[in-house]
């Protein structure tokens, strides 16, 4: 196994954790922005000002998800290079490509091309990914058995 390809594949896969982190950051920021609205007041000017502040806070909240998606898509580059240029073929990479490819395809139109590529590439090269890879363990014949 090529260690460069292995490192690129691992790096690319790890970068994909940015999306859930970005979504969690967005949820926390949204909760914070909306939580500052005081609905117990009768002064509509105060309520409108708070809604305006919350709206700008929601815009900033979505920035975390957009940055995370961008980082994750850039992180796919080393993973795809490992698969295509270095012919990295490990079972985990096959399953990652298939499962994550479905997720990216469903997630948004922006990520769908990456997801479709991963699924198609993995399925075309399925036999290479899922072949029996020897583990380097050899079994010597038992000298007691007739030969």
Global pTM reads 0.71
pLDDT averaged per 10 residues, the chain (length 147): 90 92 86 74 79 77 85 93 95 95 90 94 94 58 60
Note the pLDDT of residue 5.
94
Gap between the Cα atoms of 20 and 26, Å rounded: 10
Note the pLDDT of residue 124.
96
What are 31's two structure tokens? 């909760």
Gap between the Cα atoms of 47 and 38, Å rounded: 7
């Amino acid at each position: 196994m090529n260690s460069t390809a292995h490192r690129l594949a691992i790096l690319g896969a790890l970068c994909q954790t940015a999306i859930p982190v970005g979504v969690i950051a967005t949820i926390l920021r949204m909760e914070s922005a909306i939580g500052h609205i005081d609905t117990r007041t009768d002064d509509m000017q105060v309520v409108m000002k708070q809604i305006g502040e919350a709206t700008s806070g929601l815009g900033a909240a979505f920035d975390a998800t957009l940055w995370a998606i961008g980082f994750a898509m850039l992180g796919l580059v080393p993973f795809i290079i490992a698969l295509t240029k270095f012919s990295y073929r490990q079972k985990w990479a096959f399953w990652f490509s298939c499962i994550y490819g479905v997720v990216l395809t469903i997630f948004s139109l922006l990520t769908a091309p990456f997801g479709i590529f991963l699924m198609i590439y993995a399925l075309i090269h399925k036999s290479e990914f899922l072949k029996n890879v020897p583990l380097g363990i050899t079994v010597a014949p038992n000298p007691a058995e007739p030969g």
